[in-house]
Amino acid sequence: MSAIKKLPTGVPGLDILTYGGIPQGRTTLITGKSGAGKSILSLQIACNLARLGIKTIVLSIEETAEDLVATADTLGFDLAGRVKDGTVVLNDLTRPLDGPTHVSGSFDVEGLVHLVTDVVKKSGATAVVLDSVTALFSPRPSEGHMRSHFFRLVSTFRQLGLTAIMTAEAPADYGQLTTLGVEDFVCDTVLVLRNLVDGERRRRSIEVHKYRRSPHYKGEYPCTMTLQGLTVFPLDARQGDELSEDARYPSGVQGLDAMTHGGWLRDSIVLVRGPSGSGKTTLAGMYARAGAMRDERVIYYGFEETKPILLRNFAKVGLPLKELEAAGNLRVECRYPEATSPEDLLVQLRSGLASFKPSLIVVDSISSIEHSTSERGFRQFMVGLSSLIREHSRSALLIQTIGTFVENDVAPAYLSTIPDAILLMNYARKSQGLERTMAVLKMRGSQHASDEHRMTIVSGGLAVEPLGKQFA
C-alpha cells in the first residue's frame, strides 16, 4: 500500500497530531458543539492551503461571504487577499433572511454537486471547504435519503480529486459525533473540537477521532483560540536533533553551585519547591540576574506580583534588574493567571521563545497557575510547558510554593518526573529565629550534595553554607 499523501494545515501543533496534515484528495470532517471553533479552523486550513498555491473553494452555508472575510481577516488569515488573487473561490450559499422559507418536495443535493463541479472546472481548484453540512441538510431529510445524499457529495469530491474539509454540529461533547449521525463513517479523517467547562473555566481541546491509513496521536490535546487562530499543544517532549550541551552554568548562588558540583546542567529544568518565605523568589531573581550579566537572554515570567513591585523588591535586596532589562538581555513579564487560561499562557511562552530566543526561563510561580485551573488543566499546562522547553532546548527554573514545611508536602507523581533537578528550600523555627535550609533532592546526570545546607537572605541575595559553618 502506497503512503498516503498529506497537506499541511498550517495550524500550530495540529500537523504534529496528524503526522503531517490532512489527507490529500480525501474528506476531513471537523465536528463539535456550537462555539467549539469549527468554522475558524476550517478557514484557517483553507487560507493556509491557498498560501501553498492550492486553489480552494469555500462554500459558506451558515455565514455570508462578508462575515467570513471579516472573521478570517480579524485573525490575520488574509482571506480577502486570497479571494482577490484567486487562490480562494468564495461561494455564498446562505439563504435569504428577508422572507419566510417554504419547503416543497424532497431534499436534493444534485444542485450543489453541479455547482462544485462547475467551479472546479472553471477555477482549477483542488480543495474545498463546506461550512457546514448541518446547515446544508436543514431541514433534515429522512435518514436513508440523507445517507444517500451525503455519500453522493463525498463521492463527487473524490471523483473531482478534491481535498475536502467539512464542518458539522455535534449534539454533545462526547458520544454521537454529529447531529446527522452518518458523516463520520464516510470521511477519512475526523477532528473533534471541544469547549468544555472545567471547574470555573472553559477548556478547549482537540482530538483526532480517526485517520484512515495513517498513524495519529490518540486522545484529547489542549488548544486555544489566539489572535492568529487556533493553536494546538501536542504535549510531546520533542527535541532538536542536536545533542544537549555537556556543560554547566552558574546558578548565581556560590554555595549552591558547590552543592551541584559546578552549577546546573544546560538544557535542564530545575524545580524549586518550598513554603512561602523560604527565599524562592530571591533565588529566581539571582538566577535571572546572573544569566543576564553573562550576556545570556533571560525571560522572567512573574505570576504573583505586578512588575513594578517585583522589580522594587529585587532592588531592595541588592538585585537591580532594570538596567539589565534596558540593555536587552532580560525581559520581565508579569500577569495574573486568573486573567487568562493555561493554554493562553502557553501561547505567550511559545511566542516569547520564538521572538526573544532566551537561553534561560524563569516561571515564578507554577503554583499560581495551579490554583487558577483544574487538576487536569494544570497537569496539561506542566506537560505543555516542559515540551516547549525541550523542543527549544532551553534551561528553565520553575518555582513552586507548597505547604508550611517541605516534609509534609507530597508532589504529584507527574510533577516529580518532569524536572531534571529538584531543589528544596525550607525553614525551621529555632529559639534564635528561623533557620532556612536548602537541599538538592535530585539532579539527573550529575553528582550533588545530599545533605541540607544552611541559607540566609543577605544583601545581594542568598548565602549558602554547609550546616555547622558560620557565615562571615
Q: Are 445 and 270 in contact (CB under 8 A)?
A: no
Top pLDDT among 215 and 434 is at 215
Q: Does residue 237 form part of some domain? A: no
Distances (CA, A) of 66 to 70, 89, 90, 112, 114: 6, 13, 10, 21, 24
Residues 205 and 255 in one domain: no
* pLDDT-derived band at 139, boundaries 50, 70, 90: low
Residues 220 and 282 in one domain: no
Q: Does residue 240 form part of some domain? A: no
pLDDT tops 80 at residue 218: yes
Domain boundary among 232, 259, 293: 232
Q: Which residue intervals of 364-441 are DSSP H helices? A: 366-371, 375-391, 413-417
Domain that includes residue 429, residue range: 248-466
Kindly give the pairing relationship between strand 360-364 and strand 395-401.
parallel
Residue 264, φ and ψ in degrees, nearest 5: -75, 150
Residues 30 and 62 in one domain: yes
All residues at 6 or more sequence positions from 1 whose CB lies less than 8 Å from its CB, including other chains = 213
C-alpha cell of 320?
537591580
Distances (CA, A) of 31 to 28, 38, 342: 10, 7, 24
Bridge partners, residue 463, by sequence: 456
Domain boundary among 206, 232, 258: 232
What is d(CA 200, CA 202) in angstroms, rounded to the nearest whole number? 7
Q: How many percent of the chain have pLDDT more than 70?
A: 89
Q: Does residue 79 form part of some domain? A: yes
Q: Which long-range contacts (CB under 8 A, 24 or more apart) does 343-347 make?
A: 343/203, 343/204, 343/222, 343/223, 343/224, 343/231, 343/233, 343/381, 343/384, 344/224, 344/226, 345/369, 345/381, 346/222, 346/224, 346/233, 346/381, 346/384, 346/385, 346/388, 347/224, 347/226, 347/231
Give the mean pLDDT of 420-445: 89
pLDDT tops 70 at residue 190: yes
Q: Residue 309 region, left (φ>0) first, then alpha (ψ -120 to 50), else beta? A: alpha
Q: Which of 45-49, 334-338, 373-377 is most confident?
A: 45-49
pLDDT tens digits, residue range 69-121? 999 999 999 999 999 999 999 998 886 545 554 444 455 678 888 989 999 99
How many other C-beta atoms are found inside a 10 Å radius of the C-beta of residue 383?
A: 18
CATH code (residue 349):
3.40.50.300
Domain boundary among 205, 232, 259: 232
Q: Are 333 and 367 in contact (CB under 8 A)?
A: no
Top pLDDT among 101 and 181 is at 181
Residues 86 and 199 in one domain: yes
Q: Does residue 241 form part of some domain? A: no
* pLDDT-derived band at 441, boundaries 50, 70, 90: very high
What is the number of structural domains in the chain? 2
Residues 257 and 219 in one domain: no
Q: Are 214 and 18 in contact (CB under 8 A)?
A: yes
Residues 354 and 205 in one domain: no
pLDDT tens digits, residue range 360-371? 999 999 999 888
Residues 281 and 203 in one domain: no
Q: Does residue 158 form part of some domain? A: yes
pLDDT tens digits, residue range 311-350? 999 999 999 999 999 999 999 999 888 887 888 888 888 8
* pLDDT-derived band at 405, boundaries 50, 70, 90: low
Residues 383 and 448 in one domain: yes
Q: Does residue 386 form part of some domain? A: yes
pTM of the predicted protein model: 0.77
Q: Does residue 471 form part of some domain? A: no
DSSP E strand boundaries for 295-345: 298-302, 330-334
What is d(CA 334, CA 313) in angstroms, rounded to the nearest whole number? 14
Residues 206 and 301 in one domain: no
Residues 183 and 292 in one domain: no
Residues 339 and 193 in one domain: no
Q: Does residue 329 form part of some domain? A: yes
DSSP state of 186: H
What is residue 104's predicted lDDT score, i.e. its pLDDT? 42
Residues 322 and 260 in one domain: yes
